[in-house]
Structure formats: C-alpha cells, structure tokens
Structure 1
Amino acid sequence: MSPYRYRMDERHDKVIRSTDFDALSCRISAVLRQYLLDPYIQHIVQGLRTNLPRLPGHKFSANRTVKAITLPKLPIINRGTYIRTTAIDTIVESFAKNASGDAFQIISLGAGSDTRSFKILLEYGKKVVYHEFDFGETVLLKAATIKGTPELASLVGCAPSTEDTLPTELHTDNYHLSALDLRTIKNVNFAEAFPYIDLTLPTLILSECVLCYMKPEQVDEVLAAFLKSLRCGAVLIYEPMGTPDDGFSRVMADNLSQRGIKLPTFFRFPDLWTRLAYLELMGLHSVQLSNMAYVFRHWVAGPELVRLNRLELLDEVEEIDLLNEHYVLALAQFGETSWQNELQFQVFSQPNTAV
C-alpha cells in the first residue's frame, strides 16, 4: 500500500470513529430533553473529559470536542434518537426475556460509547455475557472510563482504578471490551480470534450503524464468520438505507460525503424485500424488517406518545417521517432459534419450522 493510500485510509477511519461522538451527542441531547432516561451517560461524558486529552493527537482539541458533544440538538434529531434507542432496547429486552432464565450472550459490534451494556448487566447479572467491540482508540477511552468510575466498574465486575497508561482492553466474567477491526475478520480462526465468546450460548449480535461503513464483501465476511461459528441466536441491524433514484437519499449521501463519510452499502438494498432476500441468502431465517417511520407509528402509542409530544414543539413532522423512512431496522434469526417476539414489522419471512 502506498503511503498516500495509507494516510487516506487512516483519515477515513478517524472520521468513522468520530461518528461515535455524533451518536453520543445525540443521546446526551435526548436525555437532557427527557426523551430518554440514561443514568450512565454522565459517566461517559466525564470519562471523555478525563481521558480524551491522554490520547495522542487529542490533547489540545479534547475540551473543544467535549463541549461540542454537549450542545443541544434540533427536535427532529431528538425524536430520531429516541425511536432508534428505544426500538433497539425493546428488541434486546425481548431477546433477553426469551432466554427464559437461561444464560445468553450479546455481541455489540462497534459499541462505542453506548451505555446499553450497563443496563443489561444490572438487570440480568450473571445470566448474560456482554461483548463490546470497536476500534482500539475507542476501546481505550471506554475501558479507562469504566475502570475510573466505581459505579461502572462494579456493574461490569472489575476493581475501580486509575492508571498512568490507558487500558487496551477490559475483561471480566460477564463483560468483555475488545479492540477489533471488523474488516480483518476474513479467514480467521474464530475460536482463536474470539477466545471470550461462548460459541454455544444463544447470542444476539447488534450492528447499530456499523456494517454500513464497510464494503459489501466485508459485510458478507463478518456475517458469515459469526453465523457459521455460533450455535444459535439473532442479528439486529440498524442503519441508513437509500435508493439511487430518490432525491432525499442522494441528499443524505452527499451530506455524509462532504464530511468524509462513505456508506458503501447505502444503495445496496433499494427496498426492504431486497434486504430480506439478502439476509436469507446469508443463512438467516425468520427475518423481520421495517423502516423507522413504521416503527414509530406502530411501536409508540398511548401515554408515551402523549408524553413525547409535550416535550418539544415539533414543526417538522413530515420531515421526520421522511428521514425515518430512510433508516431500517432488521431482525433475523440463525440456528435452531424459535424466538417468537410480538413486535410489528412491515416485511417478514416465514418463521423457521426446522426441528
């Protein structure tokens, strides 16, 4: 690889890592506006204040970065963050309850600053093993934040500590935070590359705006590696989607491109049925898909909808629907899994009936 190409790739990876700060900023705004309840996000912010200046290349920009992520967002962003977060939480809870008291496993790809692991560990304790994977720099920050925060350290099962050097990973009986570049997963010995993953446990794999940053063949390789190695479970994918002949899709792609963000699979699946066929081709079954506009209309109702409508004056109702129509929530099962969730989806395949 030429030095120029290497620098370009490094620059692109840095932009992708920065999208975690974007997502964190959206969650902070939604929490401050009372869309979401998240008692752990304050620790993530404090961890950034403490540890970001310790990372090479961030010493002088850290304060500016932290200040930027705490700025309030527009109502359309807060509403979108709410439905994204609560929809994924709902599915995770459904999967956990379906375990019926047995042990289960969650694998979060590109977990970043997400706090979902802390809530699940608090609720399910020793019944769950929670794995989080991300770029090395992101893992450094999160591991240092957890170890430097007694409440978070207690939840994951490690001793709180502050160290002169940032921890590269963090592993306990029920929580594993590991550095991983998913693009390198091709042809690895899965058991050797992922020694902390239990191949026999029912497993929920989460990809929340992660696979969309990878080339199509790399996405195929990631899914194939997990599906052929794990016994049973489900895959949950949340990401943007578009069609080449749709003006809004082109605007989304152009806006992201101006920030240096490429979405190689953005136009890969022009509709939900195309994505369903792809997931089935990869060996998944009981596939369920919806765009997020449908999810909001069918999953949020009654007192909760009344509460949301009182939080902020919302003028961009049609714009919110249009934006949500360009994000997909896909849930699919693999192996001998018979998880009969009662959630409404737009498009779905027949449940697996194999014995």
Structure 2
Amino acid sequence: METVVQQTDYDALSCRMSAIAKGYLPSPSLQVDRCNYHQYKEFHMEYLRALKSVSMRIYSIVNRVVKTSFPVMNYGTYLRTVSIDVALNDYLTSLGKDKKVQVINLGCGSDLRMIPLLQNFPTLTYIDVDYDSSISVKSKVLWNSEALKNLLDLQRDESTGEVFAERYKLASSDLNRLEETMQRLHDLTEKDCTTIIITECLLCYMRQEESQKLIGSIVSYYQSGTWIAYDPIGGSEPNDRFGRVMQANLRESRNLEMPTLMIYNSKEKYASRFPTTDASVTDMWEIFSNRISADENKRLRSLQFLDEIEELKVMQKHYVLSTASWQK
C-alpha cells in the first residue's frame, strides 16, 4: 500500500513540474506578488536536478510526464497549487508576521512550500510528515543540493543521518498508525502553538475510521489552528459518474482505493469531516470562475490552447479546498 500511495506523489511532482515548464506556475499575481513566492521555478528545478542523483527511477517517471502532459491537467495543477498557496498565505498574514505558528504538512511527499514560507514568516516552524520511504528520498534530495541545503540552512545528525534545520523538521510516520503519528507530533511540535495542518490528496486515500480518528485527535490535541485540505469528491447527483469512474480507473491501473470518495461525495458532506462548525469548502471550478482575474485568465490562455472546457469544468467541480478552524 505504501508504495502504491507513494506513486501518487510522483504524479503530483510530475504535474507540478509540467505546470512550471509550461509557465502556469508560478502565477505572477497570485504566487509571486500576493504570496511573495520568489525563485519558485529555480528551487523546483534544483529539486528535480538533485532527485536525478538520488533516484534515476523516480526522476525518469517525473521527466516523462513533464514532456507529455495535456493542458487540462496543467490547469488542474495550477488551480490546486495556487488555491492552497493563497489560503496558506492569507491565513498566515492574518495572524501577523510576529505570531508564532507551526505548519504540519501530513503526507508531504515532495512538496516544497516550506521554502518560501520559512523565508517569508520568520516565526514559523514547518514539519513535513510522510512514510519513511518518502521522507528518506526527500531528505537525500535536499541534502544533496547545496542550493536547497543553504536555503533551508540544513544540518545532519551524523549518528542517525537525520536532516533538519532549526525551524524545519522531517518526520517519518505511517499516518494510518494513529498512536505512532501522535507521538511524533508530540515530540516535534508544541501543543499550545497556533497550528496549520495541510493535507493535500491525503484523506481520500485513508479508510474512513483512520482518517476521522486522525482529524479528531489532531483537533483535540492542538489548542487552536486551521486545517487546509485538498481532495477529490465523488459527486452526489444521481447521474454523476465521476467518482465511480475514478475508482474503477484507480483499481485497474494502480490497484489503489479511495475509500471515502463516495462517502464524502459533496461539499457539504466533505465539510462534515471536521469536528468544527467553522468549515468552508469550495470546489476548484468556483475558484477558477470567481477568483481568477480577467488578466490572469488571459495569461493562462496564452500558454496553451485549451478546448476541453467542459472536461475541465467536470473535473474541477470534483476537487475541493476545505478550510476548518478551531479555537479552545
């Protein structure tokens, strides 16, 4: 199961690198200006370069997709990435730059958001959590790149090989093992510190019981925070076949399940995952239609010709961004 789910991170990295190569990312208005994400393309390209020296197999998987991705997929990656980045930045900005805060990225994979966030928010700490195999690859890639090592001010414990920085930690844990996960978080984080949880296409791959126990335990443990989640939903309309088709394709191509895709299959049901009344859920098509400016839309259209508008609409109505906050 671990290996199969890990493959989804290679997919995400491939899509992100494709969107960067084609110019979708970074968005000048949303990521560079609004979120102050500078050198975005450069540190992603550096990660890919260092990945080649760590695992030619993973590098080849990523590089192949970069060369063959379609516009509809690049649009989807763009929406996924900028929506999370803006939500993160806006929440952190609302707290103020002097506010002590910790970000915990559960199922982090190869995500590199920690680089601009640590640069932009001097009182922020960042913890990446994933399977041991994923953390091992990421640690090696970051350590093997002088540029990334310097950006993060990384150190290495020679006795354990663990890579870390004063405000950045990598933690290996199987998130389906709740006791193990909570112990790691207890060791690495502060219970009373304002906490942001990121889960990006994570909850959908967990069984309902495990995912809800994880959510409940984390919300109960930390005094205050916000959970930012991105996931697919199956669709609740009687004639909506999106979820069933997605499940069938994943089973056939990957032997992979999304256990809760059809349980939390609407925005309202997805919001109910979180034990707080302060939960909002927006689908990606709403973000594309209502929150992307005319100038940004024009920029996107100039990158690649997109004639699959209806396909894009159907897909993006089935991916959601949720923010749920709590305060004790």
TM over 0.5: yes
State the distance in 1 between where 2:135 and 2:184 align: 20
Counterpart pick for 2:134 among 118, 134, 138: 138
Gap regions ≥5 residues in structure 1: 1-11, 54-60, 337-355
AA aligned to 1:175 is: Y
Q: How does 1:297-312 map to 2 (within 5 A)?
A: 297-312=289-304
The aligned counterpart of 2:244 is 250
The aligned counterpart of 2:84 is 88
State the distance in 2 between where 1:108 and 1:193 align: 11
The aligned counterpart of 1:218 is 210
The answer to whether 1:179 aligns with 2:168 is no
How large is the RMSD of aligned CA atoms in angstroms? 2.2
The aligned counterpart of 2:106 is 109
The answer to whether 1:13 aligns with 2:7 is no
1:125-147 CA-to-partner distances (Å, cap 9, x unmatched) read: 3x110011011111111111111
* Native 8 Å contact 1:49 1:66 kept in 2: no
The aligned counterpart of 1:77 is 73
* Native 8 Å contact 1:153 1:160 kept in 2: no
Change (3 A) 1:17 1:235: same
* Native 8 Å contact 2:100 2:124 kept in 1: yes
Deviation at 1:66, TM superposition (A): 4.7
State the distance in 2 between where 1:67 and 1:307 align: 25
State the distance in 2 between where 1:292 and 1:304 align: 15
Q: Report the count of equivalent residues.
A: 310
State the distance in 1 between where 2:59 and 2:145 align: 20
Q: How does 1:273-292 map to 2 (within 5 A)?
A: 273-279=268-274, 282=275, 284-292=276-284
1:38-64 CA-to-partner distances (Å, cap 9, x unmatched) read: 3211122122211125xxxxxxx4564
Deviation at 1:157, TM superposition (A): 2.2
The answer to whether 1:170 aligns with 2:163 is yes
Sequence identity (%) = 27
Change (3 A) 1:274 1:63: closer
Secondary structure class of the residue paired with 1:40: helix
The aligned counterpart of 1:206 is 198
Change (3 A) 1:76 1:193: closer
Scaled by the length of structure 2, the TM-score of the pair is 0.88
Q: For the pair shown, which has the larger CA radius of gyration, 1 or 2? A: 1
State the distance in 1 between where 2:59 and 2:121 align: 36
* Native 8 Å contact 1:121 1:155 kept in 2: no
The answer to whether 1:296 aligns with 2:321 is no
Secondary structure class of the residue paired with 2:129: strand
Counterpart pick for 1:323 among 278, 293, 315: 315
State the distance in 2 between where 1:193 and 1:128 align: 16
Runs of 4+ in 1 over 6 A off after TM superposition: none
Range that drifts further, 312-321 or 302-311? 302-311
Secondary structure class of the residue paired with 1:285: coil
The answer to whether 1:263 aligns with 2:261 is no
State the distance in 2 between where 1:104 and 1:330 align: 20
